[in-house]
Structures are given as structure tokens and as C-alpha cells.
Amino acid sequence: MTRQYEPAQPHEPTFADDQAMLRRWRLILGRYAESELPTAQQDREIDQALGYLYDRQYTSRGHRHGTGTRPAKTGGGSQGSAPTAVSWLHATREFFPQSTFERMERDAITTYGMDDLLANPDTVESLPADPALAATLLRMRGKLNPETAQGLRILIRKVVEDILERLKPKFATSLTGSRQRFRRSFHASSKNLDWRKTIAVNLKNVDPNTGRMLIDDVRFVSRQRRQNLNWDVIVLVDQSGSMAQSLLHASVSAAIMSGLAGVNVSLLLFDTSIVDMTHLAHDPVEVLMTSQLGGGTDIARALAYAEQRVTQPSRTVIALISDFDEGGPVASLISTTRRLAESGVTMLGLAALEDNGTPWYNESVAGRLAGAGMDIAAMTPDRFAEWLGEVMA
């Protein structure tokens, strides 16, 4: 027997639904809808915070601010004082969810020119260590007021320190540590648990009645530093305009590697010219503050320059970080890549990452580079550390 279902009855809007809809429209339309959709008292400060930022879209076109209501007949006013950038920032953090606040904060600095946020040390200290915001500011650094330079440096340092904290253990373990297995250890810890080996050696201890495994032999791994580690790592970073996020992570990765014994790091930034930043490789903040994002791309020239620095091909890694959007003759790039690969140099090509972490690169050029002997991948910086560890094992 087929069951019959009654169609759902349409929902009749309630008074609360109507009020919620009117509130949303009032916040969307702004103060100019005040005469028809008065602001509720609890939304007045939210409305002011939104207007303080997004009214700049109109004032930039020459429009004057209005109140949205007929002018009062008396000279006095009852409106609150206009917010400063700092008080606006604190109010916005209180009124909106974190994701919305961070979006408005980014719009304020990058779209609406509120450089005074970066000029205030207290404000900068309160900003999150957001790589996307840092990358955006690096791209537009030349357009910021000189007074904001110190604030930008503080923000960049916060982001760098946050990335360092996350990546340094990965690079240290991948490049200078090797695994040695043993049964028991006085230094056993959960992070060193070798769960695959533990399961394998205890399979015979399964209770036939319950199916549970009884663990009486726990295996761990220990870390032992590699001996005679001696590698040259040449990091080539494309500094065209789309590469800000990748440059940020590459400079931190180079700084970490420059502090590891037995790893000699060269850091080269390029567009159509080449800037040797090896002397600053230990200081990613200074690298980022002196880099010049923008311009064209000549990968072949940069790769040929790196070739001149190779002294021991079999123990040299060239890590090219780029969108592979070559501006010069691709044939020259392929020829240099093939020559380096045939000499024994390990060639790694890392695709550019957008601000949201999505890889973007010229697949045609990347495919030809792969055919010439360069390993191509799109990966996060922590995976890059593991990749380096694998090729330098």
C-alpha cells in the first residue's frame, strides 16, 4: 500500500519574521532608509560602524554624507561623536562575528585607505596574524603612507613568527632527523608511537570472544640526527604580483633552513631581474619589507643565474617557486632545466598558491618543465619540508 503524504503548508510570516526582514533591509540600505525604516536602538551603533567604513565608497566619488532624515530646525544635535579608526576597530570586533570582522578589517586597510589603522601601534598589535592580510599589504606597500611603514613591519613580524612556530619543527625533523625503531624506551611518548608496528606485533593477541586486541608490546620511534649532512639549497622565488603569499612562506622556509647545520641556503628573488637576498635569508621580515612585488617574469634568466652557483650538483637542490607563467622564450627555460637535471641537480618546482591556498600555475609550461627533469608539485609549506627531506635523505 502506498502511503500518501500531505503537501507542506506554506509558512505564514509572523510579526517577528516581518521585523527581522525589515531590520535586514534597514542595515543593507543604510541611513538613507531612515525615514521609512527607522533604526532600532540596538542597531544604531552597528549602523554607524558599517557606515564609517562603507560610506567611503560614496565619498570617494564626491558624494557628501547625509543623515537620511530631514534636517532638524534647531542647531544642536543628539548624534554620538564620530568614531575614530581605533574606536571603530574595537566596536566592530564587538558587534560582528570573527570572520565578518576580519573581512571588514581587510577592506578598511586595503580598499578604503584607512592607513591610520597601521599607524597606531596598539591597533597593529590587536590585528590577527593573518597571512592573507599580510600578503595583500605587501602587494600594495608602495601605495601606503610612509607613517604606516613601522606598523606594517610589526604586522609582518607577527605573521612571520606565527608561520615560523608552525613550520620550524617540520623542517628540523624532515631535514636533520632520521627514524630508528626500537621496542621500549624510557622516553616513550604518544607523538613517537609507531602505531603500524604496534598493531602488527600484537595481532596474535586478539581476544576471539570480543574481537579486542590486547596490547602488551608497544613500539615507538626515536629521532637521531643525520651525520655528514651537507646540502646546498637554492631557493628561487618569483616575485611577480601574484606571488605575495608564496613569497611569504618561501622567505620563512629559507630562514628556517639557513639555521640548520649542514644546509647552505641561497635565496634569490626574481621578476625580469634577479635580487640575491642570501645575506638576508636568516631574516624573513627584512626580505619581505625590501622585496618588490610586481613586474614581469623571466624564469630562464633566474635559473641560469642559479646554475652559476652550483658547485656540487649531486648534493644541490634548486627549489623554484613560481606560477610558471614565463615571460621570455620557454625553449631557453627548458634547455637550462634539462642541462641542470642531467648534471645531477635535484630540481623541484612548486606552484604558486593564491591567498586562499588554492594553487594556480601555467600547466603547459609546468608540464614541459616536468618533461625536462623538474619535479612539479602544488603543496603547502609543511609538505614542502617533507618533500625536501625525502630528496635529501
40 is written with which cell numbers? 532600532
The pLDDT of residue 75: 39
326 is written with which cell numbers? 614565463
Cell 608490546 sits on residue: 217
Predicted confidence (pLDDT) per residue in 144-199, tens digit: 777 788 888 888 999 999 999 988 888 888 877 644 433 344 345 555 666 667 77
Predicted confidence (pLDDT) per residue in 334-389, tens digit: 999 999 999 999 999 998 766 556 777 899 999 999 999 999 988 877 788 888 88
pTM, two decimals, is 0.66
- pLDDT above 90 covers a percentage of the chain that reads 28
Per 3-state DSSP, the chain is made up of helix, strand and coil in percentages (nearest 5) of 50, 15, 35
**Angstrom distance (rounded) from CA 287 to CA 269:** 9
**Angstrom distance (rounded) from CA 179 to CA 31:** 65
DSSP string, 86-139: HHHHHHHHHHS-HHHHHHHHHHHHHTS--THHHH-HHHHHHS---HHHHHHHHH
Mention every residue, 6+ apart, whose C-beta is less than 8 A from residue 259: 282
Cα distances (Å, whole numbers) of residue 125 to 132, 156, 263: 17, 11, 34
Predicted confidence (pLDDT) per residue in 245-278, tens digit: 889 989 999 999 998 888 899 999 999 899 999 9
Nearest to 183 by CA among 225, 221, 223: 221
Nearest to 181 by CA among 196, 171, 170: 196
**Angstrom distance (rounded) from CA 109 to CA 119:** 11
Q: Which sequence spans correspond to the domains of the chain? A: 22-59+83-156, 180-223, 231-391
Q: Residue 202 is which amino acid?
A: N
DSSP string, 5-39: -PPPPPPPPPHHHHHHHHHHHHHHHGGGGTTTSPP
Mention every residue, 6+ apart, whose C-beta is less than 8 A from residue 60: 112
Reported confidence tier of residue 233, pLDDT bands at 50, 70, 90: very high
Q: Quick count: other Cβ atoms within 10 Å of Cβ 242?
A: 21
Nearest to 134 by CA among 293, 338, 8: 293
Per DSSP, the three-state class of 382 is helix
**Angstrom distance (rounded) from CA 345 to CA 338:** 10
What's the CATH number for 231-391?
3.40.50.410
**Angstrom distance (rounded) from CA 349 to CA 376:** 5
